[in-house]
């Protein structure tokens, strides 16, 4: 039994009576080591461009990345995640810009590795949606997203990222078999140390709206992603996805979105002894930010949400709050 006494001998409020005791009995904490910072990239020079649907988040040109990376490194954020806003003229039905070694992501990896070496990890999304004119993560044929043909290209995209110096390959496409295909391709090319963080339980969610705006795939997207991303009614299926990806070679797994899926984080953590990463996605970020900016909730709500991921069992959180929170945490 969890309760080992009763009122009036037992008064749980005693352990809440002041700040020092609350700190002493605190069960979960948040540190800079828990944070992964997503960054949006844009072509051009000398630009830091605001994103309408994501107050306080920016797109950076490659030369301006040090603006934010200096801070991330200073505050010991362990890893960043790169997402490109691809100019329409580079998009086509095959997403071939994904395989261009001078695309935004590749140029950014080279700059970051040159300037920061191993001071910060780089994680890259593997999916075609920033590069396809139809906005899907894989190849589209007769209204269908092809699986086996898509993973051929995704493996090439992953290999290119590894060649550029990416540390952690993060397939977010939800095609079947892509982790095995990517692991084999990496190993064959002697990238045995490059990790795979699989977006294993990724749901077809309405909370990705602002992200699609940030990478410019919103208007492009034809239809929805329900034939490859998961149905949000399911959690047993999440366990099957995770089990499969671990067998195929994933080093870490992601649950995404975050807050509406804390139960999924918990069951994955209980069932598999593997690092679990939560993604507090763009829609969650923007709702919270709007609430704060409108005075509906206060800023501490940010910590409340981030700690909820730790409570649920996540090892780390991808969050657009990472830079702001890390700055605050290191000044405490």
**Which residues, 6+ apart, have CB-to-CB distance to 218 below 8 Å?**
135, 209, 212
Site for ligand PBG in 221-260 (CB under 6 A): 225
Q: Determine whether 54 is exposed, middle or buried from the number of CB atoms within 10 Å of its CB (0-12, 13-18, 19+).
A: buried
| Of positions 39, 41, 123, 137, contacts ligand PBG by CB under 6 A | 137
Q: Which is nearer to ligand PBG, 36 or 242 (CB)?
A: 36
Q: Which two tokens stand for residue 306?
A: 């981030």
The CA distance from 86 to 244, in Å, is: 32
- Map residue 8 onto helix, strand or coil: coil
Residue 208 interacts with ligand PBG (CB under 6 A)? yes
User: Has 45 been annotated as catalytic?
Assistant: no
Of 64, 91, 181, 202, the active-site residue reads 202
**Is residue 211 within the footprint of ligand PBG (CB under 6 A)?**
yes
> How many angstroms separate the CA atoms of 130 and 123, rounded?
16
Report if residue 85 touches ligand PBG, rule: CB under 6 A. Answer: no
Contact pick of 103, 161, 172, 308 for ligand PBG (by CB under 6 A) = 172
How many CB atoms neighbour CB 231 within 10 A?
A: 9
From the CB of 63, what's the least distance to ligand PBG, in Å? 24
Instruction: Determine contact, residues 313/265, Cβ cutoff 8 Å.
Output: yes
125 lines the binding site for ligand PBG (CB under 6 A): yes
How big is the site for ligand PBG, counted in residues (CB under 6 A)?
A: 12
> For residues 214 and 203, what is the distance between their CA atoms, to the nearest angstrom?
19
CB atoms within 10 A of CB 302: 21
- CB of 137 vs ligand PBG, minimal distance in Å: 5
Shortest distance, CB of residue 27 to ligand PBG, whole angstroms?
28
Q: Rounded to 5, what percent of the chain is helix, strand, coil?
A: 45, 20, 35
Q: Give yes or no for residue 213 binding ligand PBG (CB under 6 A).
A: no
Burial of 114 (0-12, 13-18, 19+ CB in 10 A): exposed
Nearer to ligand PBG, 195 or 286 (CB): 286
Catalytic residue among 64, 91, 256, 269: 256
256 is catalytic: yes
Which of 106, 168, 281, 329 binds ligand PBG (CB under 6 A)? It is 281
Q: Does 129 bind ligand PBG (CB under 6 A)?
A: yes
Q: Which residues are catalytic?
A: 202, 256
Contact footprint for ligand PBG (CB under 6 A): 125, 127, 129, 137, 172-173, 208, 211-212, 225, 281-282
């Amino acid at each position: 039994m969890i309760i080992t006494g009763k009122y009036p001998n037992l008064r749980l409020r005693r352990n809440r009576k002041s700040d020092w005791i609350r700190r002493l009995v605190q069960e979960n904490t948040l540190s800079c080591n828990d944070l992964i910072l997503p960054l949006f990239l844009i072509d051009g020079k000398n630009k830091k461009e605001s994103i309408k649907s994501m107050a306080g988040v920016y797109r950076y040109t490659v030369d301006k990345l040090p603006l934010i990376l200096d801070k991330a490194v200073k505050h010991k954020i362990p890893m960043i995640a790169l997402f490109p806003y691809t100019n329409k003229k580079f998009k086509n039905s095959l997403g071939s810009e994904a395989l261009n070694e001078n695309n935004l992501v590749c140029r950014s990896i080279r700059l970051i590795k040159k300037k920061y070496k191993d001071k910060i990890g780089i994680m890259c999304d593997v999916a075609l949606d920033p590069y396809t004119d139809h906005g899907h993560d894989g190849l589209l044929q007769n209204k269908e997203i092809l699986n086996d043909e898509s993973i051929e290209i995704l493996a090439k995209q992953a290999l290119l990222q590894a060649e550029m110096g990416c540390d952690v390959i993060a397939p977010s496409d939800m095609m079947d078999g892509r982790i095995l295909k990517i692991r084999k391709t990496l190993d064959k090319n002697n990238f045995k140390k490059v990790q795979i963080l699989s977006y294993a339980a990724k749901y077809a969610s309405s909370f990705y709206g602002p992200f699609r705006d940030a990478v410019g795939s919103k208007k492009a997207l034809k239809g929805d992603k329900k034939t490859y991303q998961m149905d949000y009614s399911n959690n047993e299926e999440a366990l099957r996805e995770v089990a499969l990806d671990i067998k195929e070679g994933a080093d870490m797994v992601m649950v995404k979105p975050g807050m509406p899926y804390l139960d999924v984080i918990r069951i994955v953590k209980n069932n598999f002894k593997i690092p679990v990463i939560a993604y507090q996605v763009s829609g969650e970020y923007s709702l919270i930010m709007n609430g704060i900016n409108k005075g509906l909730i206060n800023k501490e709500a940010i910590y409340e949400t981030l700690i909820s991921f730790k409570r649920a069992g996540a090892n780390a959180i991808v969050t657009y709050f990472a830079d702001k929170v890390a700055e605050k945490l290191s000044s405490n």
